[in-house]
Amino acid sequence: MTRALRVAMIGYGFMGAAHSQGWRTAPRVFDLPVPVEMAVLVGRRADAVAEAAERWGWAESATDWREVVARDDIDLVDIVTPGDSHAEIAIAALAAGKHVLCEKPLANSVEQAERMRTAAAEAAARGVRSMVGFTYRRVPAATFARDLVADGVVGTVRQVRAQYLQDWLVDPEAPLTWRLQKDLAGSGALGDIGAHAIDLAQFITGQRLTEVSGTLETLVAERPVLERASGLGGTAGSERGAVTVDDLALFTGRFDGGAIGSFEATRFATGRKNALRIEVSGDRGAIAFDLEDLNALQVHDATAPAERQGFTRVLVTEPGHPYLQGWWPAGHMLGYEHGFSHQVKDLVEAVAADAPLHPSFDDGLQVQRVLTAIERSAEARSAWTPVS
């Protein structure tokens, strides 16, 4: 492929802004094999999506995603809508021969994710590529952590502890947005941020969860309804609506490589804004990452002389670190947005080379199966034993 890769993005909320930054910036920072055209931004409200297209650098705006997905002058569809529309849009785009980038979680159910995985496999046979947007894999320190574990730096992985801590729902008057409605989001903290913790734990360790035990809890049952149904913006009215998803998820898991994991995903960790934390404990050392300090990776060498042991704070900003070669000199730091440029870089390079992509729809389906297993475990309440 030498001509430009023409992209259409469906959706224009928070992820729409973040993905637009990636599409706009990656071609300017990395030497991509083909140019990228930010061709069409698609949304339901013509005035709002036209304004967003202007702001974020999309050549056109449209309101009918089916029409855009069918266009011959579109090569790739980027889906950044809430999870309830991922399956329909991705399957249509893949059938139309478009490469697909779909935000996480892949879908709102295993059934939907399985249909997406099947469509992706059929499309791959036609050279059509697909990927799910677990972007945190592409924070340099996270990829570096994966490389260290793969190189044996921590030895045999014994334990993984992963948390995704936010606090944007601590206020009971925070409005009932789409992320709090099961029919739109599929689940609450579990699928929205727990999915990131699951994917990152599996990516860094190279192991997959095979068995889980979990608890889900909704702490605030009703919230003010936004006057506009979009759930994105709008003002809270006097009407209140039921929260139909979990506010927090606590779960443990066994990995196929023998490790044991403990996980937490919550929107009620007061004072924690976007703390995706993971620590991998091995018999030769450990690594620890915190998204709220995303340029650093804590590395511990348990084979060093005891007098000199301790976690070392590695600043992951050297040109030799993953993705850094396109950016600034050491110590000049990256941010939350850079992972979206790294996602575009890897996606464009793979599409141009007709090469497989990670995380694939298979990876997304596997995460969906973990989420469903946690929900089933929580429903069974099998882990709870009264203290006599």
Nearest distance from C-beta of residue 264 to ligand SOE, angstroms:
15
CB closer to ligand SOE, 281 vs 343: 343
CB closer to ligand SOE, 85 vs 213: 85
Q: From the CB of 166, what's the least distance to ligand SOE, in Å? A: 6
Number of residues that bind ligand SOE (CB under 6 A): 4
Give the nearer residue to ligand SOE in terms of CB position, either 192 or 279: 192
| Alpha-carbon separation of residue 359 from 2, 135, 155 (angstroms) | 25, 9, 25
Q: Pattern of binders to ligand SOE over 12-51, x per CB under 6 A?
A: --x-------------------------------------
Which of residues 262 and 274 has its CB atom nearest to ligand SOE in the complex?
274
In angstroms, give the least distance from the CB of 194 to ligand SOE: 10
Q: For the residues of 238-299, what is the DSSP string, one character each? A: EEEEE--S-SEEEEEEEETTS-EEEEEEES--TT-SSEEEEEEEESSEEEEEEGGGTTEEEE
- Nearer CB in complex with ligand SOE: 15/40: 15
Smallest distance from ligand SOE to CB 179, Å: 6
C-alpha angle 207-209-215 in degrees, rounded to nearest 5 = 145
**For residue 327, which amino acid is it?**
W
Q: Judge contact between 311 and 288, C-beta under 8 A.
A: yes
Phi, psi of 62 (to 5 degrees): -150, 165
Site string for ligand SOE, 166-195 (x = CB under 6 A): --------------------------xx--
Q: Of 63 and 218, which has the nearer Cβ to ligand SOE?
A: 218
Q: Write the single-letter amino acid at 231.
A: G
Q: Does residue number 290 form part of the binding site for ligand SOE (CB under 6 A)?
A: no
In whole angstroms, the minimum distance from the beta carbon of 107 to ligand SOE comes to: 15
CB of 105 to ligand SOE, least distance (A): 9
Site for ligand SOE in 188-227 (CB under 6 A): 192-193
Strand pairing category for 222-226 and 236-242: antiparallel
Beta-strand pair 76-79/5-10 = parallel
What is the gyration radius of the CA atoms in the chain, in angstroms? Answer: 21
Give 75-136 as a DSSP string: -EEEE-S-GGGHHHHHHHHHHTT-EEEEESSS-SSHHHHHHHHHHHHHHHTTT--EEEE-GG
Within 45-64, which residues bind ligand SOE (CB under 6 A)? none
Nearer to ligand SOE, 128 or 291 (CB): 291
Q: Which amino acid does the sequence have at 382?
A: S
Interacting residues toward ligand SOE by CB under 6 A? 14, 192-193, 274
